[in-house]
């Protein structure tokens, strides 16, 4: 019983302390300490990092992979009121021409005044000068204990001897907010030298972080280009970024998406952009967090089915015929037994798709699994997305429902696939491989 709940008692506390000392027990008043017989640092106290185990159920591994598919296709109804908009625009044009001719000088003064007011409203925010010239942005939050990617990554960049950054920022939620942060902060010593974007991502759908606002939670080359066209990424203040600035994207196999990397370089004033063509893995160990690159091999099954490890191993052996990995053994473990050991990691890939229909047409009603897969295969835009990623309708468990979207009849297709991914850490003679970001054998570099 915890008697302290009844209040303090000096006599009782002393008795508990003596009991703990006599029998080497951990109590509220005694604790264990470790004493080394070797005298270090000339006998002076030294601060030492003491890694702690993760809470029960929280993985020591963190992988920056994320994949989801969302979209809309089908019948597009023409918007109402087109004639009214055209007529209204014509009247506005006539009014502008009349005012320009009737009040030419005053009109010019009005435009000049509006320009001056506009320039005052767009005055840049004052710049805060910061210590250090490297920063890591945590662009996301952990969605499960199974993959605490951002928690472990932040720990790594705060303490890593090889890749520690001066600042770790988790307050930016969009790519535009990162740009604004860099515009409003500058190192005291000159331009930023290293900017890291820690993200979930993949080679097909880009980074899982919004360009601007909550409507789209991903950034790809097209969305970023549209945002730049809209003026959402103006030039950074002079001296904040230069040709020596490195923008490093820490996600999984984003190095294959060179179009996205090129757009990032444009959005951030020509900084050189680096991203690996492999999985980016953070692993918490007894001596701290380490980061390494890993190759990957995978097969896909419908979510909710349980093929069993023998069937998964056979599928891997068929898909990767020249790979000598013992697939059955690798599938037995979800964490490495030793440094560089292969292991399995599971991903669920969701699909959320809406197909719009002509109000005068009858909606299809696919019921069986075969009917659902046939219907999915008949949707060209959805199939283009699946084909790009090497996925088939049969890889998913589908739920298809009738609904309406803004008053228009539609079908929603929700699919779930489970990816069995064997992680194979890259190694060299010195151990796990964490090459320099300039090494183009492993990284794509765009400027």
Sign of CA dihedral 72, 74, 79, 82: positive
Phi (first) and psi of residue 303, to 5 degrees: -65, 140
CA 271 to mean position of chain CA atoms: 20
pTM strictly above 0.85: no
Number of other CB atoms surrounding residue 82 within 10 Å: 9
State the Cα angle at 202 between 225 and 312, rounded to 5°.
155
Task: Look at residue 14 in the predicted model and tell me its pLDDT.
Answer: 82
Q: Categorise residue 317: left if φ over 0, alpha if ψ from -120 to 50, beta otherwise.
A: alpha
Measured between alpha carbons, how far is 49 from 211 in angstroms, rounded to an integer?
37
- Between CA 84 and CA 442 the distance in angstroms is 57
Architecture of the 129-278+427-446 domain: 3-Layer(aba) Sandwich (3.40)
Q: Coil, helix or strand for 324? A: coil
H helix or E strand, kind and range, residue 85: helix 82-102
Given its phi and psi angles, is residue 57 left (phi above 0), alpha (psi -120 to 50 degrees) or beta?
left
- Rama region for 291: left / alpha / beta (φ>0; ψ in -120 to 50; rest): beta
Minimal CA–CA distance to 263: which of 212, 240, 239, 229? 229
DSSP assignment of 218-242 equals -B-HHHHHHHHHTTSSPPPPTTS--
Structure tokens at 8: 């303090």
Instruction: Supply the pLDDT for residue 120.
Output: 42
pLDDT value of residue 121: 45
Q: What is the pLDDT along the chain (447 residues), one digit of tens a residue?
A: 445 544 567 777 788 788 878 777 777 777 766 555 545 555 556 554 444 444 444 456 667 777 888 899 987 755 544 444 444 444 444 444 444 444 444 443 333 344 434 444 456 667 899 999 999 999 999 887 778 999 999 999 999 999 999 999 999 999 999 999 999 999 999 999 999 999 999 999 899 999 998 777 889 999 999 999 999 999 999 999 999 999 999 999 999 999 999 999 999 999 999 999 999 999 988 888 999 999 999 999 999 988 999 999 999 999 999 999 999 999 999 888 888 899 999 989 999 999 999 998 889 999 999 999 999 999 999 999 999 889 999 999 999 999 999 889 999 999 999 999 999 999 988 888 899 999 999 999 998
Where does 103-161 have alpha helices with state H? 104-121, 149-159
């Amino acid at each position: 019983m915890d008697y302290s709940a009844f209040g303090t008692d000096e006599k009782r506390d002393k008795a508990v302390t003596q009991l703990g000392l006599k029998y080497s027990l951990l109590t509220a008043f005694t604790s264990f300490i470790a004493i080394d017989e070797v005298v270090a640092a000339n006998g002076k106290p030294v601060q030492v990092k003491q890694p702690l185990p993760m809470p029960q159920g929280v993985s020591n591994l963190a992988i920056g992979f994320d994949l989801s598919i969302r979209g809309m296709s089908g019948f597009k109804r023409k918007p109402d009121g087109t004639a009214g908009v055209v007529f209204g625009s014509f009247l506005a044009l006539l009014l502008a021409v009349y005012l320009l001719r009737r009040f030419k000088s005053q009109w010019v003064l009005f435009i000049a005044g509006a320009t001056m007011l506009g320039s005052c409203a767009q005055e840049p925010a004052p710049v805060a000068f910061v210590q250090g010239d490297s920063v890591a942005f945590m662009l996301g939050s952990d969605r499960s204990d199974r993959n605490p990617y951002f928690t472990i990554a932040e720990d790594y960049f705060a303490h890593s001897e090889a890749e520690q950054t001066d600042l770790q920022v988790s307050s930016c939620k969009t790519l535009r907010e990162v740009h604004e942060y860099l515009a409003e902060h500058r190192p005291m010593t000159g331009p930023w030298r290293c900017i890291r974007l820690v993200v979930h991502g993949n080679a097909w759908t880009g980074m899982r972080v919004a360009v601007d606002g909550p409507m789209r939670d991903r950034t790809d080359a097209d969305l970023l280009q549209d945002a730049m066209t809209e003026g959402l990424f103006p030039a950074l203040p002079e001296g904040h970024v230069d040709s020596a600035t490195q923008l490093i994207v820490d996600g999984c196999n984003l190095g294959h998406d060179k179009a996205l990397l090129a757009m990032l370089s444009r959005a951030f004033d020509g900084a050189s952009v680096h991203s690996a063509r492999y999985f980016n893995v953070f692993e918490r160990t007894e001596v701290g967090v380490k980061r390494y690159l890993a190759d990957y091999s995978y097969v896909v099954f419908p979510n909710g089915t349980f093929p069993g490890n023998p069937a998964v191993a056979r599928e891997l052996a068929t898909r990767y015929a020249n790979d000598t990995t013992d697939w059955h053994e690798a599938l037995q473990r979800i964490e490495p037994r030793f440094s560089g050991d292969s292991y399995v990691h599971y991903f669920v890939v969701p699909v959320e798709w809406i197909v719009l229909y002509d109000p005068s047409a009858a909606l299809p009603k696919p019921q069986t699994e075969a009917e659902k897969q046939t219907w999915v295969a008949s949707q060209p835009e959805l199939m283009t997305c699946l084909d790009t990623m090497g996925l088939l309708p049969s890889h998913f468990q589908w739920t298809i429902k009738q609904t309406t979207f803004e008053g228009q009849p539609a079908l929603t297709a929700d699919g779930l696939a489970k990816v069995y991914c064997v992680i194979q850490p890259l190694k060299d003679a010195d151990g796990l491989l964490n090459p320099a970001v300039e090494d183009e054998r492993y990284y794509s570099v765009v400027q």
